[in-house]
Structure 1
Amino acid sequence: MLERGKQVVVPAGAGAPPAVSATSWLVADLDTGRVLGGCGPHQYGTPASVQKLLLAATMMPRLDPKQTVTVTDEDMNIEPGSSAVGLVAGGRYTIETIWLGLLLNSGNEAANALARLGSGTDRAADGVRAMNDEAHRLGALQTHAVTPSGLDGKGQFTSAYDLALIARACFAQPTFRRYALTEQAPIPAQPAQRTKGFLIQNENQLIYRYPGALGGKTGFTDLARHTYVGAAERGGRRLVVTLLGAESAPKRGWEQGVSLLDWGFTVPRDASVGRLVEPGELTATPSAAPALAAPGGPRPAAASGPAHSGSGWLWSVTVISGAGVLVLLGGLLWRRRRRLP
């Protein structure tokens, strides 16, 4: 199936997914790891603020949400005009407040603070290194963080498939799930800095407008365009959608996510075109490559399986059509991360 020149892979018998402007996307089951469909899932892209999910997956288990910490001048070093929640240098906040500032308002200063605080060295750069280590552990080998916030940096990239792995790790944490569904939160006054308290609102419209929403994260930079991760539950089934490189017309990023979630819930529960790898799986002992479908064999719309191939990870997808068999290599993910050209 082609969508505006892009190859879309879906299970046999599944309806056609909606057309979206995103250059790549993926829909998967959060619980089983089944991939229900995708378009360029291993295509390199720029994350923008959905990178904050990797920060959450890495640092949330390390930090005590009740601890009160001090924001530093270094934390406030963000690109002028970029997203900020309104923390102030010298201000005293709980870790939970900073997480809410990160996930509700996409605060870039909050990202700097959390990367620094969770680094173990009080250095945000070491926090970014920890994020990359966590991405590797999760199997997100097409992900490399340069900034904790997702502000553009040279050599920073991810993929729709990797974002699904990262989102799955986030939604496995009860604290993250609670934050992701929080509609508003107070940012306390800082008398010593002469700032008043105020309320922040969750910017992810999914939680207000989509029944069964579990939350997610929006992102945008001029380079990345619109990026989105969202999850929802329906009939005891939890799905996640990830998309990169979207334009806001005719639908905004979260609305494109909604369209793909609606489609995903129509796909049979046992159908898939592949699966999400488990944490640590790609650093385990290599296994044999799966057999690919051959002409005259079974006729699913797509069949895939993970395979180690010497120095890398190969996700193969076999698409059966009336014209015959087309073997698509979704992407070769090298253990040694490479930079974008």
Structure 2
Amino acid sequence: MHLLRLLPRPSSLNWIFPSAVLVLAALAVVTPRAVHAEALLVVEADTGKVLQADNATMPWYPASVTKIMTAYVTLKAVKDGRLTLDTLLTVSPVAASQSPSKMGFRPGIQVTVDNALKMMLVKSANDMAVVLAEGVGGSVDGFSAMMNQTAQKLGMTQTSYVNPNGLPAEGQITSARDLAILARAVIRDLPEYEYFMHIPSIRYGRRVTQNFNKLIGRYPGADGFKTGFICASGYNLVASATRNGKRLIAVVLGASSGNARAVRAAQLLERGFGGNGLGWLKPALGTVDNLVPIDATPPNLRDEMCGGKRKRPATDEDADVVAANGSASTGESAVTFFTAGLQPPMGKPSDLLAAEAAASEPIPVYTGPTKTGTALIAAVAAEAEKQTPAKRGKKSKIAAKKPDAAAPKAAADAKPAAVRHANARPEAAAKPAASADRKPAARPAAADKPAPKPAKPKAAAKPKGENKPAG
């Protein structure tokens, strides 16, 4: 589906201004031509000043960027003292029944608010969003009402919530404008909890999940927020970055892939920081709160995103990789974003994603009460044990005990691991994660020991026995 641009095409302006080249350059910066339905917005985090807006007030399906509001409402409840990050919440049958992406815990399993938030924001776990909703609001409907009240209070006049995770639902709507307002509210109202929005990765047992926001650890200064995808919305991203004390928020809705939204957001941020040197050409667009809403139906990108052979689940776990020559979206975006002789300051669109993310230790997450020291190490190791192949030899049991001898030292390293209060930072969890790695690492080697056993049945299968039935 193609959206009509409100501004005229550059070619129609030639007869108005003799300095057509200058005007075309300005328009190329301010109003890039999209190859398909897309909403784009860049604002200054502290002032709300709009630096670029394309379809910014067009209603849109939010998908998993909904979880920014779920986190905001939950963390406001924590800040107000209605619960703590250590509060235990129980996985209900409703939570366990959610579609992927999810942790997949059985009903009855308990997790802390802290761990549920990390799993929800990094893995985009739909079941953890419901766990938080039921724990804070009593039910999905009760929490959705809290989300809607909060949205109205913040001035998100185009937003309506039906569930806490963004899975397809009638009436779940937002806009780039409203998402920028929400991101500003997180920065303004919850600075002590904002670290939840830019955790690079989490470790659950042996499984490590990287943040789906591909700017984290790749784009210099990237420090938030959340991705989302359902077929109807396309690939969404609310991102932020800080450079020289200046923080910007970029919103991309309707990109054609996970890579495309990351490249799109990086280009928007780069331009917002003045990377093209033409900031003085930008017209005054006011503040994000004053952008005028468009009364329209959200574009449905289902056919474009998931039609024909492009079968995709409603999850952010996309594994797409930019081809050498760029995809139809990312390759063309470099041309449409930087026309009239302007070159993208970051080089090819694929350059951003070609590099490995900055090295960082995954933050350990686990079930049950908050744990520190040896208890945390044991919890992480226990989860790893469950995920280890069942085949083990006698030495594996001995190997499992070995880390206990080093437990006092490991415990000292692990003390700052659990993020249990406002001032704790997830980076502190690096050391216990490394300890957890060492503990299960001995298992595969031990498990290989009994490998010669299958030889016995072969020797027992004598020709005599094989021929008996034939007689």
Tell me whether the two structures share a fold, i.e. TM-score over 0.5. Answer: yes
Whole-Å Cα distance in 1 between the matches of residues 92 and 206 of structure 2? Answer: 19
8 Å CA contact retained: 1:22, 1:247: no
Whole-Å Cα distance in 1 between the matches of residues 133 and 73 of structure 2? Answer: 9
Answer yes or no: is 1:53 the counterpart of 2:52: no
8 Å CA contact retained: 1:49, 1:219: yes
8 Å CA contact retained: 1:101, 1:200: no
Q: Which residue of 1 aligns with 2:260?
A: 252
Q: Which residue of 2 aligns with 1:16?
A: 29
- The TM-score with structure 2 as length reference comes to 0.53
Whole-Å Cα distance in 1 between the matches of residues 3 and 59 of structure 2? Answer: 18
Pairs within 5 Å for 1:229-268: 229-248=238-257, 252-266=260-274, 267=279
Aligned with residue 84 of structure 1, among 102, 106, 120: 102
8 Å CA contact retained: 1:75, 1:109: yes
Using a 3 Å threshold, how does the CA distance of structure 1 residues 226 and 180 change in structure 2: closer, same or farther?
A: same
Q: Which residue of 1 aligns with 2:352?
A: none
Q: Deviations over 1:170-197 (max 9, x none)?
A: 233234421122222343xxxxxxxx66
Aligned with residue 123 of structure 1, among 139, 161, 165: 139
What's the offset of the Cα at 1:259? 0.9
Instruction: State how many pairs are aligned.
Output: 270
Using a 3 Å threshold, how does the CA distance of structure 1 residues 332 and 7 change in structure 2: closer, same or farther?
A: closer
Aligned with residue 120 of structure 2, among 97, 102, 109: 102
8 Å CA contact retained: 1:225, 1:246: yes
**AA in 1 matched with 2:293:** G
Q: Which residue of 2 aligns with 1:152?
A: 168
Q: Which runs of 5+ in 1 are unaligned?
A: 188-195, 278-305, 307-314, 316-329
**AA in 1 matched with 2:64:** S
Aligned with residue 331 of structure 1, among 293, 312, 325: 293
Higher RCO structure, 1 or 2 (CA under 8 Å, sep 6+): 1
8 Å CA contact retained: 2:63, 2:166: yes
Report SS of the residue matched to 2:226.
strand
Answer yes or no: is 1:29 the counterpart of 2:47: no
Q: Which residue of 2 aligns with 1:6?
A: 5
What's the offset of the Cα at 1:340? 6.5
Report SS of the residue matched to 1:125.
helix
Q: Which residue of 1 aligns with 2:130?
A: 112
Answer yes or no: is 1:65 the counterpart of 2:90: no
What's the offset of the Cα at 1:123? 1.1
Q: Deviations over 1:20-68 (max 9, x none)?
A: 5552111101111111110111111111111111112222111321222
Whole-Å Cα distance in 2 between the matches of residues 214 and 60 of structure 1? Answer: 18
Answer yes or no: is 1:166 the counterpart of 2:182: yes
Whole-Å Cα distance in 2 between the matches of residues 210 and 25 of structure 1? Answer: 18
Whole-Å Cα distance in 2 between the matches of residues 248 and 95 of structure 1? Answer: 31
Answer yes or no: is 1:138 the counterpart of 2:145: no
Q: Greater share of strand residues, 1 or 2?
A: 1
Using a 3 Å threshold, how does the CA distance of structure 1 residues 203 and 138 change in structure 2: closer, same or farther?
A: same
Using a 3 Å threshold, how does the CA distance of structure 1 residues 85 and 272 change in structure 2: closer, same or farther?
A: farther
What's the offset of the Cα at 1:85? 2.9
Pairs within 5 Å for 1:277-292: 277=289
**AA in 1 matched with 2:163:** T
Q: Which residue of 2 aligns with 1:294?
A: none
The higher radius of gyration belongs to: 2
**AA in 1 matched with 2:122:** L
**AA in 2 matched with 1:6:** R
Whole-Å Cα distance in 2 between the matches of residues 22 and 203 of structure 1? Answer: 22
| Displaced runs of 4 or more, over 6 A | 12-15, 338-341
Using a 3 Å threshold, how does the CA distance of structure 1 residues 86 and 255 change in structure 2: closer, same or farther?
A: farther
What's the offset of the Cα at 1:276? 2.9
CA RMSD across the alignment = 2.8
What's the offset of the Cα at 1:254? 1.7
Q: Greater share of helix residues, 1 or 2?
A: 2
